[in-house]
Amino acid sequence: MGCDWLREALAKARAGKETVGFTRKKLAEIAEREGKLNLVWAMGSPATKYTQPFEGPPAWFGAARFAWCGAFVRWCCKEAGLDIGITTPSGFGYTWALVEAWQKWAEERKFYFDNDGKFEPQAGDIVIFDWKQTDIDQVDSNWDSHIGVYLRRNGKYYECAEGNTSNQTAVKTRESVTIQGFIRIPDGYSFSGTTVRPTPEPVEPTPVNKAKFEQQVEEIFEREGGFSNIAEDAGGPTNLGITQATLSTFMGRPASITDVQNLTKATAKEIYRKYYWDPLKLDEVESYMVSYILFDQGVNRGIGAAARDVQFAVGVLVDGQIGPQTLKAINAMDERKLAISLIKTSQLKYVRIVKGNPSQMIFLEGWINRSQKLMDLLV
């Protein structure tokens, strides 16, 4: 499923033979895989995984979903083992969603190399583009235009994996004149100062949490239903609540409509745990009802939206990522009060979605009914 390198590395780490850290080889493999999926950004689509960390405070260039090439590169770096945060660790003061931030950061660390015709890029180098540049010797006098991950040379052209190229991920062929420079992050680099970090043993869910997931995922199956392919649905072909794009990410290749139609419950459960349950850390949410609402909303509106809603409700930093502070606040709050707050918020968000995109009106009644059924469980 496109993660053989990770499984092998984990096996070696457990055997005491190797630790897992960032490498440009992994970055190139991950970026190319994601680029070939051609994921289109839309509200609730799998491509929101790139932009989700930037959609709440801090607000600097937070609207990354509209210009999200930098967010794509950051996500790929993080998946490749780089302990990268949201904001650049320097006085420049912006998030990684801003292309210019990458160059400023790299220049400070002498990781940046100008495209002078002499530098020979390697797979996993990060590429800075300048669409206004007409010659590689032109002085850099404007903001950078775009960013991607270099894969290979194809004659006089460069193949790069990119996000936000016509609002989707892609592998593109670029001319040298459009490239301003390259960033080469050293293998094993870590923002924490540790060159290579060991990978911890995975923690197996307890029998109680396994049962909780199994019960709730069956409810999700019942709510989502079987195969559908509605023109107005931004998710496209869907089965058991799993969209074609999400299945593509899981499979590591573009999924066909037939693949979606043939999706089994066993595979859907794997996807739900990997892409929804575990990122929301629902094993650690003590309230069954709150975990159920977060799971439901994560599936229906995206895990970033669900995380931000609960963070706002419990009064912690809204960054769209569930961590120790969010979990502590969730588990300390009255579960009934929190559940009602989350359900009411979801209903307001559904109305806003329709106001922003009237074509989604056909789904509004179903969405409201879905949230109302959750409310009924509290009575």
Question: In order of start, what are the domains of the chain with their CATH numbers?
Answer: 4-183 (no CATH), 207-376 (1.20.141.10)
Average pLDDT, the chain: 79
More confident of the two residues 154 and 147: 147
Q: Tokens 């049962």 — which residue?
A: 211
Residue 77 clears pLDDT 50, i.e. is over it: yes
Q: Tokens 């799971």 — which residue?
A: 295
Q: What angle do CA 64, 339, 277 make, to 5 degrees?
A: 55
The C-alpha atoms of residue 84 and residue 53 are separated, in whole angstroms, by 12
Structure confidence by residue, pLDDT tens digits, 363-375 = 777 767 777 776 6
% of the chain beyond a pLDDT of 90: 28
3-state class of 225 per DSSP? coil
Q: How is residue 60 annotated by DSSP?
A: T
| Phi and psi torsions of 159, nearest 5° | -95, 130
The C-alpha atoms of residue 290 and residue 333 are separated, in whole angstroms, by 10
- Residue whose C-alpha is closest to residue 79's, from 155, 141, 152, 163: 163
Residue 360 has a pLDDT of 73
Maximum CA extent, the chain: 70
Residue 219 has a pLDDT of 86
> Which pair of structure tokens corresponds to residue 332?
């300390």
Q: How far is CA 23 from CA 12, 14, 46, 101, 150, in A?
A: 16, 19, 25, 21, 14
Structure confidence by residue, pLDDT tens digits, 246-288 = 888 888 888 899 999 999 999 999 999 999 999 999 999 998 8
More confident of the two residues 103 and 159: 159
Contact between 209 and 291 under an 8 Å Cβ cutoff? The reply is no
- Residue whose C-alpha is closest to residue 89's, from 106, 64, 114, 66: 106
Residue 5 has a pLDDT of 39
3-state class of 132 per DSSP? coil
Structure confidence by residue, pLDDT tens digits, 8-40 = 443 443 444 343 478 899 999 999 999 999 998
Q: How far is CA 261 from CA 48, 145, 175, in A?
A: 24, 40, 40
Residue 133 clears pLDDT 70, i.e. is over it: no
Which residues, including other chains, have CB under 8 Å from residue 24's CB and lie 6 or more apart? Answer: 80, 122, 123, 124, 125, 184, 185, 187
Q: Which helix (H) or strand (E) holds 298?
A: helix 288-301
Q: How far is CA 84 from CA 9, 213, 246, 325, in A?
A: 20, 30, 24, 19
End-to-end CA distance of the chain: 43
The C-alpha atoms of residue 233 and residue 361 are separated, in whole angstroms, by 11
Residue 231 has a pLDDT of 62
Write the DSSP string, 149-210: EEEEEETTEEEEEESSSSSB-EEEEEEGGGEEEEE-PPTT--TTS-SS-PPPPPPPPPHHHH
Instruction: For CA atoms 355, 357, 361, 364, give the dihedral sign.
Output: negative
